[in-house]
Structures are given as C-alpha cells and as structure tokens.
A = this chain, B = another copy of it.
C-alpha cells in the first residue's frame, strides 16, 4: 500500500485529495504547513509527497530542500503560480513533477502513478530473502517461524536487505529510519540491531548476517 503525504493549507482541497486517494487504496497523512510537513515526513515515511507551494510558514521550495536533505521520496508539487521560473525552481530543487492549479484530479492521479511507478522498481525483484534458517518477505512484511517485527525494525531491516553486502553508514541508517536530526543517536542502532539479531540470527551472540563494522555502520551479508 502506497503511503502519501498531502501538504496544503486549504482544508477543502486537502479533504478532496484525501477522499480520492483513500478511495484508490492509498494510505494518507496530511499537513497544513511546512513545519508539520517536514515533521510528518520524518515520522510517517511516505512513499510520495504531494506538496502545495503556497504555505503559510515556509516557502514550498524550502520544504523540498528540507526533504531532499535526507530522503529521495518522490515529490509532486501543486501550485497556483503558472510561471516557468517557479516550475524550474521547484523541479531543480528536487521535485519530480509540477502541476498548476486548477488541475484535473484524474490527471494528478495519473502523474502520481507515474512518479510512484518510477520510484519503486524494486518491487519487481524477488522479495524473499534468507537469513540463517529464517525467510524474510519484504513485500508481505512477514518472517517465517512466527516472528513479528515492529515498524521501526522493518524500516531498519529493509534498508539493510535492499543493499546486500553493502555497508550502510550509521548516519544514513539514522536519517532514513528516524528522520533528519537523529544522526547522533547511535544507541538507537545498537538497541534495534540487537533486537533484529535476537529475532533473526540463529546465534544472536555471534551474528552471521547482520554484521557490525565498528566505527562505520552495519552490513547485511547474504
């Protein structure tokens, strides 16, 4: 299920979008200014952000910058301003698409489908991954043997499993799982890596797949 964060200061537009998206089985979160948008993005971890440029507190382009500092989530910008320079600024700041108001809701949905499809090609690859004697399915969010993981554990595990063999730095893990501003909280990592090892490793005391690289980060060894 695709998770969408809608950011707009007009309640009726917010409401209209939410209804349309929920009807199409999107999971929706909402924000009505730039500050709460950035906070929501860190907490909600959307797969897509629909962002109005005309916000009461921060300029929309700044919100794009703020998001791009730590995530590559697709961003579709809405705006009343139809000028070319506005579009260029938003796109070059890191937005993926730019739609001018008033817009046709069906067109917006098609553009949402387009950027979402482009951003998630990893759904095509086999989602079944073996860790010791357990099997993890990232798409179905299941682990064999009646093991259950919390949302945070899933985000952390997914990040590691999507980059098999590659070292993931502590900074990257912290910003991608907990959001920007958490780069120093390294003991969150120790805490949750320990949990994952307890739940997944055959011998949690001697991890064979979720490997620590001291001073740098962690690595998933297939």
Contact = CB atoms under 8 A, between A and B. Distances in A.
A148 B91 contact: no
Given A97-B97, A118-B118, 11 more contacts: A74-B118, A84-B104, A84-B107, A85-B106, A88-B106, A88-B107, A91-B114, A96-B115, A98-B111, A151-B216, A154-B216
Interface string A73-110: 01000000000110110011011111000001011001
Interface of A: 72, 74, 84-85, 87-88, 91-92, 94-98, 104, 106-107, 110-111, 113-115, 117-119, 121-122, 139-142, 148, 150-151, 154, 165-167, 213-216, 219
B87 A151 contact: no
B91 A111 contact: yes
A122 B118 CA distance: 11
A25 to B, nearest CB: 17
